[in-house]
A = this chain, B = another copy of it.
Amino acid sequence: MNNKFSKRIREFKPSGTHQLLQMSERPEVISFAGGFPAPELFPVEELKAVCEAVLNEQGPASLQYSTTEGYIPLRQAICGRMKDIGIESNYENVMITSGSQQAIDLTGKLFIDEGDVIICESPTYLAAINAFKVYNPRFVEVDMDEDGMIMEELEKKLQAHPDVKFIYTIPDFQNPTGRTMKLERRQRMVQLANQYDVVILEDNPYGAIRFAGEPLPPLKHFDTEGRVIYLSTFSKIFSPGLRLGWICADEAFMARYVSLKESADLHTDSFAQRVAAKYIEMYDLESHIEKIRAIYKERYSAMASCIKEYLPPSVSYSTPQGGLFIWLELPESIDSAELLQDCLRNHVAFVSGASFFPNGGGHNTLRLNFSNMSNENIAEGIRRLADVLRSKL
């Protein structure tokens, strides 16, 4: 039956991450592999009251088909939150998606023809690479340092590829590196996008989870020509299971996004949208996020000090001010995919870094997640990782 499949899926190789994630989910394994929020912080009790209120007040409407764009009070609440970080918008610039993963997929569908060039950070978010790959682009990677994508490198790539469709960037606490793009680079990136006539896809799932330093305005804040498309999500600040993300973009884009979303799944879960809106109405989302920040700060500190204490000094690591991830660079002689096999036997897991480089490379890198685990398990897991690593050096 293989001859029946479309070219995009005949050429598609599963990343293997799926299988590794399953192995890392065994109870005896301490897993730094996922990107799961801390489940003990989910507002379970509050949601009992919220679900009851939604069913009492809006029962049939919350279970019926609804518009592709999404539930207006939720879109208005999103506009309010975006205003607080410097994005002026109207609810008509916002479409609710089934997680921001869907926003990434729809963006690939909207822009990419086979062979088109898209620019991204090197490394970048694994599931965005996989979503874009379905549309067969060429990935052009731009080097980063601790302050995010390097603008001189970006300009060279824009000059070399005059037909770039968009720049995909995660400016805050990037996945996988945890790095944050500094202020002047944000302004410079928008300038470059204007100058070279490209779109910026700003993916910002972690921005609200800042536990150190000062907040920086999103790229969208500096957008004067409507060429920044901003994506975010309730996954890290409320619940990932409900699959609620959004796209904020200029009207030139919105009508097309709505058409693509309509043909993809008609609309996002009506009930989940009304539950999120009602939660925001009944409770204080900001103070809920404050709790998440406090816990993640503690877990980050625990992991950072264990890394310092247990890992050999030849390992370098990022020092994020928020988000969910730390990025390690091991000595050149270590292949982190092989290391992972040994680690799994020692009951500790991570994601090896190569999967985050769309064109290959990064064999000696890896990503650690700290959001989903007790301080004790963090310490024990880093000790196990250190043991395996020392045996390879």
Contacts and interface: CB of A to CB of B under 8 A. Distances in A.
Contact of A101 (B1, B235, B266): B266
Interface residues of A, number: 80
Contacts of A48: 51-52, 55-56
A130 to B, nearest CB: 5
A112 B256 CA distance: 21
A81 interface: no
A131 B259 CA distance: 10
B272 A269 contact: yes
Given A105-B264, A109-B6, A263-B130, A44 B63 contact: yes
A47 interface: yes
Contacts of A265: 97-99, 101-102, 105, 243, 265
Give me the 4 closest cross-chain CB pairs, A-B, nearest first: A241-B270, A39-B60, A44-B59, A51-B51
Q: Is the interface of A mostly helix, strand, loop or mixed?
A: helix
Contacts of A98: 98, 243, 265, 268-269
Nearest to A102: B265
A342 to B, nearest CB: 26
Interface string A6-21: 1111001010001000
A266 B127 contact: yes
A247 B14 CA distance: 20
14 contacts: A4-B111, A5-B256, A8-B109, A9-B256, A12-B256, A18-B68, A42-B60, A52-B52, A65-B241, A101-B264, A102-B264, A105-B265, A127-B262, A271-B272
Nearest to A225: B1
A319 interface: no
Contacts of A34: 65
A134 B116 CA distance: 17
